[in-house]
Amino acid sequence: MAKRKQADSTKLAPDHKNVVGLRAEIVEQPITQTLEVNYMPYAMSVIVSRAIPEIDGFKPSHRKLLYTMYQMKLLGGTRTKSANVVGATMKLNPHGDGAIYETMVRLSRGYGALLHPLVDSKGNFGKVYSRDMAYAASRYTEVRLDAICAEIFRDIERDTVDFVPNYDGTLTEPTLLPTTFPNILVSANQGIAVGMASNLCGFNLAEVCDTAIARIKNPEALPMDTLLAPDLPTGGELLFDAREMAEIYRTGRGSFKVRSKWRYLPKENLIEIYEIPYSTTVEVIIAKVAELVKAGKIREVADMRDETDLSGLKLTIDLKRGVEPEKLMQKLFRMTSLQDSISCNFNILVEGMPRVMGVSEILDHWIDWRIQCIRRQTAYTIGQKRDKLHLLLGLREILLDIDKAIHIIRETEQDKEVVPRLMQGFSLDEVQAEYVADIRLRNINREYILKRIQEVEELEREIEDLTDLMEKPARIRKLIVRQLEDVKKKYGAPRRTDIIQAHEVSEEYDPETDVVDYPIHLFLSREGYLKKISPQSLRMSGEQRYKEGDGAFLTWDTMNSEELLLFTNRQQCYKLRLSDLEDSKASLLGDYLPAKLEMEEGETILWATTAQNYAGQILFFFENGKVARVEASAYQTVTRRKKLTGAYSDKSPLAAALRLFEETELVVFSTEGRALLFQSEILTTKNTRSTQGVAVMTLKPKYKLQSAMLATESPFQSPARYRARSLPAAGALVKEIDRGEEQLSLL
């Protein structure tokens, strides 16, 4: 049961003296009632009356605008100011002038959003490939209907479609437009309703007509035999994948990839991009390239600018010396919207209900609807001809005895008695008698009489033929085929979007093939600062600079194309491509890896190594005296993952780690001051990263394994003292002569 609360509105008023006796009432109601009473009607209104196109390919806003222009005699006539059309459209479309004008802009030839524009425009209408190129105000531009609209409105006056009253009941408007071709597949259309959306890509008109004809002749015909692929107004190259396209044609859902067209001018050392995907704009592309250049991910571009002019779109990229254009474009295709995926969602209103359909189902519905249109207009034509035949049959009766008719009219004293007396004298009905009475005197001659009698015979043959047409669906289908062939012949145009086979295109961009490779020196500090310094810069530099309290931890001589593996105290391995780092100097601190790698709070780097093609093994020495030998290839991934969890066992803290490429002797040290020397062959190699390893050094309770190194790097004068006969072993206390420098640990 709903609760009612009252709030004194005078408490909310700044001047309560001016508020007398007003009380606001707040009514609580169940959410189910709100959905039923408020939400559902709104949702259905948006779906049915605004956002989703119908089988003729139009949304209500498109249909109202085009029909208004048709009523204004703008099909084949002279252009008129866009403001005039916008104002007249308001009689059918109860929206602001801005929304109506935006609809007109999208349908215009100047904007270029449709393969076959429906509005022949003059003036600045902006461009679909530019986000910032604004269209001129409606008072400055002129429009009329494009020639193809003759096919959109053909026979609309012959009861082809239903008409309904407009929003205030003063005018009528068509519920659909009787398009003689499947405009639903030709004109691209997008819409977002409540809880659903629609995204129809455009197809080539000639291919759509051929596909519809094939479907009419053979209901089992496959669309892919004649409908090659979507055709987009902005051109580009479509990467054709037969499996993906077949899925789109079958279900009405899916996506396909489109890439830009470009050419390389060697004399100027620049790239010109002259067609881009339909789903992006030049501003988005330029902004993304600038962002990548700033981030150091693209270093081959010297400058990029928009040189679009009246001749069409053109983006120019100035290249640095020695850059390979093909490799750069592959990189840009991968990292920017110069190559983009276009989604398909063929959601269409059919008899007021939204349905997602494949191409075959859409064509079948369009064919059925077109058959209905032809039957309606044929029935309308038969009715008109029968009415005319009825009049001529009455005229024939009069003309057989014209003297009698003249005598009746002459002997009639009052005008209102002429029709009744003719009806009585010749057995005519009132309509026939009115028609005869209105004949002019000059038409009462032999030639006129013979022509009218001959016309009766022609009308009878025409009615018989039209009746036969209505009764034979095969004849209607042949008529639709003829109309489609005429449309193809008049308005068919070559494809704008080229089709290239996806398997013939190298879509996968491998950063390694495009990295400039050169020797580098790496310096990693204890706090996680990493410097990448070239040999030339290192020779010119002084002492390495570190943050106060920080110092050197690990150093490498490697190549810029290498990958660095960093192991942390959280049993995680971070992978870092050295080519992603800017070259540094000895006087700088370098890149702070915990921030760059987005490490967890409190996570620190314990050890690191270069990938080196993931050859060899990694030895993990744990404080409990165990050693794990893991193949380096266990850290190699197919995808370019940046973080691996479970990089090593978490059963005991990590004390040290070594990279092993060949069998050798190893030395481990404990906090008790003991050392143990053993052969690496006794360590079993594992592919599992989280292996706990094997026991190597036995430790007293209060001691732990502290560090490890290769035997060749140890300071031992008499290594035999520390060599174990079997493992695990406690090792031997290190003599003073064998101590050398203090051993380093990871702790």
Distance CA 357, CA 368 (A): 15
104 and 138 in one domain? yes
| 76-90, 211-225, 509-523, 556-570: segment of lowest average pLDDT | 509-523
* Position 411 confidence tier, pLDDT thresholds 50, 70, 90: confident
Distance CA 441, CA 168 (A): 47
Nearest partner of 678 among 628, 716, 629, 731, judged by Cα: 731
Domain boundary among 179, 200, 233: 179
Q: State the DSSP H helix or E strand holding residue 608, giving kind and residue range, or none if neither.
A: strand 605-610
Give me the sign of the Cα torsion angle 147, 347, 281, 103.
positive
Mean pLDDT of 622-630: 94
The amino acid occupying position 303 is: D
* Position 377 confidence tier, pLDDT thresholds 50, 70, 90: very high
Distance CA 151, CA 484 (A): 10
| 143-147, 192-196, 443-447, 662-666: segment of lowest average pLDDT | 443-447
Nearest partner of 55 among 217, 171, 189, 154, judged by Cα: 189
20, pLDDT greater than 50: no
Q: How far is CA 676 from the centre of its chain?
A: 63
SS3 (DSSP) at 53: coil
465 and 391 in one domain? yes
Choose the most confident range, by mean pLDDT, from 15-24, 501-510, 660-669: 660-669
Residue 256: inside a domain, yes or no?
A: no
408, pLDDT greater than 50: yes
Residue 124: inside a domain, yes or no?
A: yes
351, pLDDT greater than 70: yes
| 141-150, 256-265, 344-353, 534-543: segment of lowest average pLDDT | 534-543
H-helix segments, 550-681:
593-596
Residue 323: inside a domain, yes or no?
A: yes
Q: Is the Cβ–Cβ distance between 116 and 205 less than 8 Å?
A: yes
Q: 693 or 30, which is more confident?
A: 693
| 6-15, 36-45, 103-112, 457-466: segment of lowest average pLDDT | 6-15
Concerning whether 140 is annotated as a catalytic residue, the answer is yes
5, pLDDT greater than 60: no
Nearest partner of 277 among 298, 292, 294, 260, judged by Cα: 260
Residue 229: inside a domain, yes or no?
A: no
412, pLDDT greater than 70: yes
Residue 29: inside a domain, yes or no?
A: yes
What's the Cα-to-Cα distance from 690 to each of 91, 228, 433, 568, rounded to whole Å? Answer: 74, 52, 105, 14
538, pLDDT greater than 90: no
Mean pLDDT of 618-628: 94
511, pLDDT greater than 70: no
72 and 9 in one domain? no
HEC sequence for 670-708: ECCCEEEEEEHHHCCEECCCCCCCEECECCCCCCCEEEE
SS3 (DSSP) at 556: strand
Q: Is the Cβ–Cβ distance between 223 and 359 less than 8 Å?
A: yes
172, pLDDT greater than 70: yes
Mean pLDDT of 724-728: 86
Q: CATH no. for residue 390?
A: 1.10.268.10
Residue 470: inside a domain, yes or no?
A: yes
pLDDT attached to residue 3: 41
Beta strand segments in 82-233, E = 119-122, 142-145, 163-165, 172-174, 189-192, 197-200
21, pLDDT greater than 80: no
Mean pLDDT of 44-53: 79
**Pairing relationship of beta strands 253-259 and 237-240 according to DSSP bridges:** antiparallel
Structure tokens at 158: 């012959």
| 49-53, 54-58, 225-229, 249-253: segment of lowest average pLDDT | 49-53
Mean pLDDT of 430-435: 87
520 and 407 in one domain? no
pLDDT attached to residue 506: 58
521, pLDDT greater than 70: yes
* Position 414 confidence tier, pLDDT thresholds 50, 70, 90: confident
6, pLDDT greater than 50: no
611 and 674 in one domain? yes
715 and 595 in one domain? yes
517 and 466 in one domain? no
Mean pLDDT of 190-195: 83
| 173-187, 287-301, 343-357: segment of lowest average pLDDT | 287-301
pLDDT attached to residue 23: 58
Mean pLDDT of 602-625: 93
pLDDT attached to residue 744: 46
Q: State the DSSP H helix or E strand holding residue 433, giving kind and residue range, or none if neither.
A: helix 430-437
Beta strand segments in 219-337, E = 237-240, 253-259, 261-265, 270-275, 301-306, 315-319
pLDDT attached to residue 693: 92
Choose the most confident range, by mean pLDDT, from 293-297, 489-493, 708-712: 489-493
- Block residue for tokens 């145009």: 493
661 and 570 in one domain? yes
Structure tokens at 287: 């902004």
Residue 234: inside a domain, yes or no?
A: no
Mean pLDDT of 92-114: 93
Structural domain harbouring 280: 261-337
pLDDT attached to residue 72: 96
116 and 31 in one domain? no
pLDDT attached to residue 653: 93
Annotated catalytic residue within 39, 42, 140, 518: 140
Q: CATH no. for residue 294?
A: 3.30.1360.40
Structure tokens at 143: 């429009």
pLDDT attached to residue 32: 81
Peptide bond connecting 535 to the previous residue in cis, omega within 30 degrees of 0 = no
140 and 163 in one domain? yes
400 and 374 in one domain? yes
SS3 (DSSP) at 511: helix
| CB neighbourhood size of 504 (10 A) | 8
Domain boundary among 152, 179, 206: 179
Q: CATH no. for residue 102?
A: 3.90.199.10
pLDDT attached to residue 741: 54
* Position 516 confidence tier, pLDDT thresholds 50, 70, 90: low
**Pairing relationship of beta strands 261-265 and 270-275 according to DSSP bridges:** antiparallel
HEC sequence for 716-738: CCCHHHHECCCCCECCEECCHHH
Give me the sign of the Cα torsion angle 436, 439, 443, 448.
negative
Average pLDDT, the chain: 88
End-to-end CA distance of the chain: 69
| 41-50, 186-195, 480-489: segment of lowest average pLDDT | 41-50
By percentage, how much of the chain surpasses pLDDT 70?
A: 94
Q: What is the DSSP string of 363-375?
A: HHHHHHHHHHHHH
Q: Is the Cβ–Cβ distance between 72 and 142 less than 8 Å?
A: no
Q: What is the DSSP letter of 642?
A: S
Distance CA 610, CA 608 (A): 7
pLDDT attached to residue 7: 40
Q: What is the DSSP letter of 599?
A: P
Mean pLDDT of 310-317: 93
- Cα Dmax for the chain: 154
515 and 487 in one domain? no
* Position 541 confidence tier, pLDDT thresholds 50, 70, 90: confident
Domain boundary among 179, 195, 230: 179
Count: domains in the chain: 5
pLDDT attached to residue 510: 55
Residue 104: inside a domain, yes or no?
A: yes
- Angle formed at CA 254 by CA 253 and CA 259, multiple of 5 degrees: 140
12, pLDDT greater than 60: no
User: 69-73 contacts: CB < 8 A, separation 24 or more?
Assistant: 69/119, 69/143, 69/144, 69/145, 70/145, 70/149, 70/153, 70/156
Q: Give the predicted TM-score (pTM) of the model.
A: 0.70
**Pairing relationship of beta strands 163-165 and 189-192 according to DSSP bridges:** unpaired
Distance CA 408, CA 636 (A): 110
* Position 399 confidence tier, pLDDT thresholds 50, 70, 90: confident
| 405-409, 470-474, 659-663: segment of lowest average pLDDT | 405-409
